[in-house]
A and B are shown apart, each in its own frame.
Chain A
């Protein structure tokens, strides 16, 4: 009857604990959302509803905060999280085209995840490596001084790693 994502999971109990920990402190919302995202990987409606109810704030408030901060995600993240820096230095060095290329290969937009859950794509602001512009990060790996033509190879590397793992 269900797709599994709303199953009464043990994460739900964990979330209760997180909410209880911050409930009575001022400015509880952001730390709770942070830990909830660590727990679930993203912040779906069911989690936001639970946080709103637990902290006695409106769902509108919670959703407003979640959509304001780029760290919070409404969608699940992939196994490999691609962050494309669109900060000023990277942008003038052609990060826009890099981003477009990745989006084209993976057929997803910023904030989205591939259906198989392998890759997710996000555009981010300066990662502090302007000397290497344009820069992308895949999980903790940094790739710098990129050209559009480098992209297919880099992504292929992760596809290959996946294939080996299976």
Chain B
């Protein structure tokens, strides 16, 4: 039981737990204090001064940091407070590049919203505009410092949540800028392309490297057979872009929209997720039986893979050699599928829709072209797909439901839950008994690996073999877990790691929810619900029951872990320097 104090906010008596802030206490009393830099659990530093309140001190205090105390009297709204906030905001706006009409965040900009809320009709100060170069050299992320308001949310999520620290606040005073060390382009830093900075940014200073034009171009090329695959997490969130409540699965409408956009076939990445489980499960069983390198660590998350290559080069042999589902699917499409439909793989153009910005980087990895062609030709994020749907005038809400195309349309519930933290582990544990003994056990719902705890552990006994598993999401948690393993403090057989907190459902390519939403609800749990709901509704919930995957093995790949699989569905990793060598 935590202790409470009583304070007065705007004349109203409020009880609040000791250690909470004035901002939280006000919220609980139904009083909204404007904020800009504040993002719950990520950035609580009082930098922007929008949330200033009168606590009877010599100067106004930032409510997001000021602790409650017994008898404290707070005023959140007075002419002087309103004027001070307005001046502060006008100063921020005075040096902000106000190209709002053509900004990627127009209508979803927290600065714009604040300017409206605080009734800024005229900016009295004419600030000097800095003209910084835009860094668009990364395949995943574009940084435009001219729009940055120095809230530092991106710095905080990169440094404290992900422990990547590719960017920092550089220089001081008027020259302050968020940048990489020595102003290097992001692509030359240990940035893992997770895009958590993009979804944390209140304005348009960070965005994904947009690939929609290249997709449009392919779609209008008559010589190409353009197919698309969508990852599980996309269906759980794209509805948000069209006004659906968070956590509404819109699979049928999404498929319908993709068909309207002109894709020849619309496939479900989940099918490849099932394939991944069979390959990875077989790899796990093989490593356990034959004293192979353990723990086996999942390789689905390209953000995690690059993080591992930078930070834990000694653990590369622990990574599953399986390609991610995205790339497995690409390889299948350009080999098995090409053969089946009789189209030369050079004429097949594979687009994938991903909740992820790191997938763009993954698609460019040169070693992932085992068919002789790149597995994936273009990657667009959930946001970019929504953009294309809007651009083409499709009335998303009034679309009828359609289903994924054959021959790879069917996926199991196991493939669907890949999009949430713990999902890959759960899917694997649903199949491992079969791979180990040839029989299924009774466990389908493995609740212990679900939920938003940073690190989850499970121990299951299968046919006399005890399998110890761990799940981590968010790279800070991954670092903690791997450090424990390296120090010999923990032993596991199997580890699932997702770079983004919550897993793919909260990936860096997902619809951007403003702080006002993220401060109030756990997006990770809400979006995951949509996936578990779909899993529950399916009859087939174990990957090895997927008839299409079985058929693929029968007709082409022979068996999981077989020669052909190794050639097309597996890969290898490289140790990476954190920064390029000095050029002298």
Contact = CB atoms under 8 A, between A and B. Distances in A.
Nearest to B166: A60
A60 B182 CA distance: 9
A67 to B, nearest CB: 5
B181 A48 contact: yes
A63 B168 contact: yes
Given A58-B159, A63-B182, A45 B582 contact: yes
Contact of B180 (A6, A49, A60): A60
B181 A6 contact: no
A64 interface: yes
Contact of B170 (A45, A48, A58, A64): A64
Contacts of B159: 58, 60-61
Contacts of B584: 2-3, 5-6
A59 B181 contact: yes
B171 interface: yes
Between A2, A60, A61, A64, the greatest number of chain B beta carbons within 10 A of the residue's beta carbon is seen for: A60
Contacts of A3: 584
A30 to B, nearest CB: 15
Interface in B175-193: 180-182, 189-190
B167 A60 contact: yes
A6 B584 CA distance: 7
A146 interface: no
A61 B168 CA distance: 7
Between A3, A46, A48, A63, the greatest number of chain B beta carbons within 10 A of the residue's beta carbon is seen for: A63
A50 B481 CA distance: 26
Chain B interface mostly helix, strand, loop or mixed?
Answer: loop
Contacts of A58: 159, 165, 168, 190
Given A58-B159, A60-B180, A62-B181, A67 B171 contact: yes
Given A6-B584, A68-B172, A45 B182 contact: yes
B103 to A, nearest CB: 26
Nearest to A46: B582
Interface string B186-226: 00011000000000000000000000000000000000000
Contact of A60 (B168, B171, B172, B582): B168
Interface string A40-73: 0000011011000000001111111001100000
A67 B172 CA distance: 7
Contacts of B181: 45, 48, 59-60, 62-64
Given A2-B584, A45-B182, A48-B181, A59 B170 contact: no
A125 to B, nearest CB: 11
Contacts of A67: 170-172
A3 to B, nearest CB: 5
A147 to B, nearest CB: 29
Between A5, A45, A61, the greatest number of chain B beta carbons within 10 A of the residue's beta carbon is seen for: A45
B28 interface: no
B371 interface: no
Interface string B152-170: 0000000100000111111
Given A6-B582, A59-B181, A63-B181, A68 B165 contact: no
Interface string A1-34: 0110110000000000000000000000000000
B578 interface: yes
Contacts of B125: none
B171 A68 contact: yes
Given A3-B584, A5-B584, A63-B181, A49 B579 contact: yes
B579 A59 contact: yes
B307 to A, nearest CB: 13
Interface string A106-150: 000000000000000000000000000000000000000000000
A63 B167 CA distance: 10
A3 B582 CA distance: 11
A5 B190 CA distance: 25
A157 to B, nearest CB: 33
Contacts of B169: 64
A5 B584 CA distance: 7
Contacts of A64: 168-170, 181
Contacts of A6: 582, 584
Contacts of A62: 181
Contacts of A49: 579
Contacts of A59: 165, 181, 578-579
Nearest to A60: B168
A97 B296 CA distance: 66
A60 B169 CA distance: 8
Nearest to A3: B584
Contacts of B171: 67-68
Contacts of A46: 582
A52 B579 CA distance: 12
Interface of B: 159, 165-172, 180-182, 189-190, 578-579, 582, 584
Interface of A: 2-3, 5-6, 45-46, 48-49, 58-64, 67-68
20 contacts: A2-B584, A5-B584, A45-B181, A45-B182, A48-B181, A58-B159, A58-B165, A58-B190, A59-B165, A60-B159, A60-B165, A60-B180, A61-B165, A61-B168, A62-B181, A63-B181, A63-B182, A64-B170, A67-B172, A68-B172
Given A58-B159, A60-B180, 15 more contacts: A2-B584, A5-B584, A6-B582, A45-B182, A45-B582, A49-B579, A58-B165, A58-B190, A59-B578, A60-B166, A61-B159, A63-B168, A63-B181, A64-B169, A67-B172
4 closest Cβ contacts across the A-B interface? A58-B165, A63-B181, A64-B168, A60-B168
